[in-house]
C-alpha cells in the first residue's frame, strides 16, 4: 500500500493502540468535579479556586499518564508513546481550545453572557474536553470517546439554557461533566481488563 494512503487510513490495530483505556478521562473527571465543587464553595475567592483547579488538572494529567504507561506495559506495548507524548494530541487539543473560545465569543456577541448565573469557565471546562474527545473519537474510531464528546457538547448547550443548571453552573458542570468523564474512564478501564 502507498505510504500516503497508509497514513490516511489507519490500520485497525494502530487505531486500537491509540486508546488510553480511560487513563486520562477518569482523573480529569475527578479533577473537574473537585475543582468546580471548590469554586461553588468559595464563590468570593475566584483566584484561589482557579489556581486550585489548574493544580488539580495538572495532577490529573500526571496520574493519567502514569496509569496509561502501566496499561501499555501490561499489554506488551512498551515502546508505544503515551497520549501526552503525541503531537497529534496537542494539535487536536489546540483545535478544541480554539473552537471553544470561538463559540464563547459568539455567545458573548449575542449577549448571552448577561444571563443570570452564566459562567465562561464552567462552559470551557465542558466544551474543551467535549470537542477534544469528539474529534479524537471520530478520528481514531474510538466509539466511547465519540459518545463522550457528544454528551459533553450537549451539556455545554444545556448549561446556560436550563434554569436549574444556570443558577448553579459550577455544581452542574462539576457533577455532569465530571461524571461523564469519570464514567467514560470506568468504561475504558473495563475495556483494558477485557483486552488484558
pLDDT score of 124 more than 70:
yes
User: What's the whole-model pTM score?
Assistant: 0.85
* Rounded average pLDDT over 90-99: 95
The answer for residues whose C-beta is within 8 angstroms of residue 111's C-beta and 6 or more apart is none
Cell digits of residue 67: 496509569
Q: Can you tell me the distance from the alpha carbon of 140 to that of 16, in angstroms, rounded to the nearest whole number?
A: 8
| From 35-44, 63-72, 96-105, 138-147, the region with the lowest mean pLDDT | 35-44
pLDDT of the residue at 196: 76
* Residue 80 confidence class, pLDDT cut points 50, 70, 90: confident
The distance of Cα 117 from the centroid of its chain, to the nearest Å, equals: 23
pLDDT of the residue at 149: 96
Cell digits of residue 55: 493544580
Could you say which DSSP state residue 10 is in? Answer: -
CB atoms near residue 60 (< 10 Å): 22
Q: Can you tell me the distance from the alpha carbon of 28 to that of 93, in angstroms, rounded to the nearest whole number?
A: 14
CB atoms near residue 174 (< 10 Å): 25
Q: Can you tell me the distance from the alpha carbon of 187 to that of 184, in angstroms, rounded to the nearest whole number?
A: 5
| H-type alpha helices, 42-177 | 46-74, 87-109, 120-140, 143-158, 163-167, 169-172
Amino acid at each position: 500500500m502507498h505510504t500516503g494512503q497508509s497514513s490516511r487510513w489507519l490500520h485497525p490495530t494502530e487505531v486500537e493502540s491509540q486508546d488510553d483505556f480511560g487513563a486520562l478521562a477518569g482523573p480529569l473527571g475527578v479533577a473537574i468535579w473537585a475543582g468546580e465543587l471548590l469554586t461553588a464553595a468559595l464563590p468570593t475567592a475566584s483566584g484561589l479556586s482557579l489556581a486550585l483547579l489548574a493544580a488539580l488538572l495538572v495532577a490529573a494529567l500526571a496520574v493519567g499518564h502514569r496509569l496509561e504507561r502501566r496499561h501499555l506495559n501490561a499489554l506488551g506495548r512498551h515502546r508505544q508513546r503515551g497520549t501526552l507524548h503525541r503531537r497529534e494530541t496537542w494539535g487536536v487539543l489546540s483545535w478544541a481550545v480554539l473552537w471553544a473560545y470561538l463559540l464563547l465569543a459568539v455567545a458573548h456577541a449575542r449577549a448571552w453572557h448577561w444571563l443570570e448565573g452564566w459562567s465562561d469557565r464552567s462552559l470551557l471546562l465542558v466544551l474543551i474536553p467535549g470537542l477534544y474527545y469528539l474529534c479524537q473519537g471520530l478520528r481514531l474510531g474510538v466509539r466511547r470517546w465519540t459518545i463522550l464528546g457528544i454528551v459533553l457538547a450537549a451539556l455545554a448547550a444545556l448549561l446556560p439554557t436550563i434554569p436549574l443548571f444556570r443558577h448553579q453552573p459550577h455544581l452542574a458542570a462539576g457533577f455532569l461533566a465530571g461524571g461523564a468523564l469519570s464514567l467514560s474512564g470506568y468504561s475504558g478501564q473495563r475495556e483494558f481488563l477485557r483486552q488484558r
